[in-house]
């Protein structure tokens, strides 16, 4: 597995990480826990060193799963987790990035992850009630205490990133980014480039859509959050197929799958971009890892850009009720 550094921080991780949310949360009925622990360990055996979780996944149970899976393989492993919601006793689940809450989350996450320090501690969503300077200051104190190693932001806008970075250098920004959601290119990626911050795309495969395994007949059961997302209505799934067809066409030339082309495209954008596709299946893990070996030439990238410019993606990323939580 190739390695990449997240910006100028010096934090080195595998070129492709593993998003762990779906191992037991938000993607339908939870898979067998032992099987998911085995999957995480299989990822380590294949060279993956970057694992992404959060206290809200479960809540708490995803961190526990990741902590158990990685307990015996600490060397060279980077675990990212997140704070930002009121999930304590009697918590409402609302955004909460008050410094005292951040400190409590850090203590609890250390125990669940079975680590001495959190490698990368993201603010999960910008809290409109807490100045970002206070958030960055709280994490700065945790870093000074040796409880956290690096500070990150998730779904933050460029101005917020700049303000936070002035207090405590930001190692990585995590946001959704893929061929069907390119908003970070407007302001966030340029800000990361200027400040020397790494960028971690979540949902790099469009929550599974860019794998080519979905159409208008696809259904989602259980607690799968895609049932609430405008891009996963039957109409949108049908209308957005041209993007998948493009990936399939390029994949045939490269002897690769649509998912691999989608990930290779992300890797080709910047050397400090590290996507974290999630999966619960070993063969998909191998498929995703294989994308790191695919080289897209400048000619390939120009052809993709030209083709994508002619495709209009149908459907918002989130329902209107959630849109205000992103991009501040």
The full length of the chain comes to: 328
- Give the residue numbers marked as catalytic: 57
Rg for the chain, CA atoms, rounded: 19
DSSP at 230: G
Distance CA 202, CA 208 (A): 11
The dihedrals phi and psi of 87, each to the nearest 5 degrees, come to -115, 10
Q: Are 13 and 4 in contact (CB under 8 A)?
A: yes
Between the alpha carbon of residue 269 and those of residues 49, 182, 189, the distances in Å are 21, 11, 10
Q: Where are the alpha helices (DSSP H) in 46-173?
A: 61-70, 99-113, 132-144, 158-167
36: helix, strand or coil: helix
The dihedrals phi and psi of 11, each to the nearest 5 degrees, come to -75, 115
Q: Where are the alpha helices (DSSP H) in 151-231?
A: 158-167, 188-195
Distance CA 66, CA 75 (A): 15
What residue has token string 């079975």? 114
Between the alpha carbon of residue 281 and those of residues 37, 49, 157, the distances in Å are 12, 18, 33
């Amino acid at each position: 597995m190739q390695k990449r550094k997240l910006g100028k921080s010096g934090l080195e991780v595998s070129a492709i990480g593993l998003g762990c949310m779906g191992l037991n949360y938000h993607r339908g009925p939870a898979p067998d826990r032992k099987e998911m622990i085995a999957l995480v360990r299989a990822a380590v055996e294949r060279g993956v060193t970057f694992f992404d979780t959060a206290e809200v996944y479960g809540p708490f149970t995803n961190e526990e799963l990741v902590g158990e899976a990685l307990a015996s393989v600490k060397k060279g492993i980077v675990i990212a987790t997140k704070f930002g919601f009121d999930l304590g006793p009697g918590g409402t689940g609302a955004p909460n990035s008050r410094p005292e809450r951040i400190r409590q989350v850090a203590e609890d996450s250390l125990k669940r992850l079975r680590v001495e320090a959190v490698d990368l501690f993201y603010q999960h969503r910008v809290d409109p009630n807490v100045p970002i300077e206070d958030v960055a200051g709280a994490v700065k104190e945790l870093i000074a205490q040796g409880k956290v190693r690096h500070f990150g932001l998730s779904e933050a806008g460029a101005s917020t990133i700049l303000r936070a970075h002035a207090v405590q250098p930001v190692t990585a920004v995590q946001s959704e980014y893929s061929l069907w959601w390119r908003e970070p290119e407007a302001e966030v990626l340029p800000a990361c480039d200027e400040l020397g911050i790494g960028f971690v795309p979540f949902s790099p495969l469009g929550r599974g859509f860019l794998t080519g395994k979905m159409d208008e007949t696809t259904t989602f059961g259980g607690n799968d959050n895609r049932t609430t997302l405008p891009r996963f209505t039957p109409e949108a799934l049908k209308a957005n197929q041209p993007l998948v067809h493009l990936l399939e066409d390029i994949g045939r030339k490269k002897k690769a799958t649509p998912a691999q082309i989608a990930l290779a495209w992300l890797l080709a954008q910047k050397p400090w971009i590290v996507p974290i596709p999630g999966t619960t299946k070993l063969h998909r893990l191998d498929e995703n890892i294989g994308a790191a070996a695919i080289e897209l030439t400048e000619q390939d990238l120009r052809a993709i850009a030209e083709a994508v410019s002619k495709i209009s993606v149908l459907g918002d990323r989130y329902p209107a009720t959630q849109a205000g939580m992103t991009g501040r």
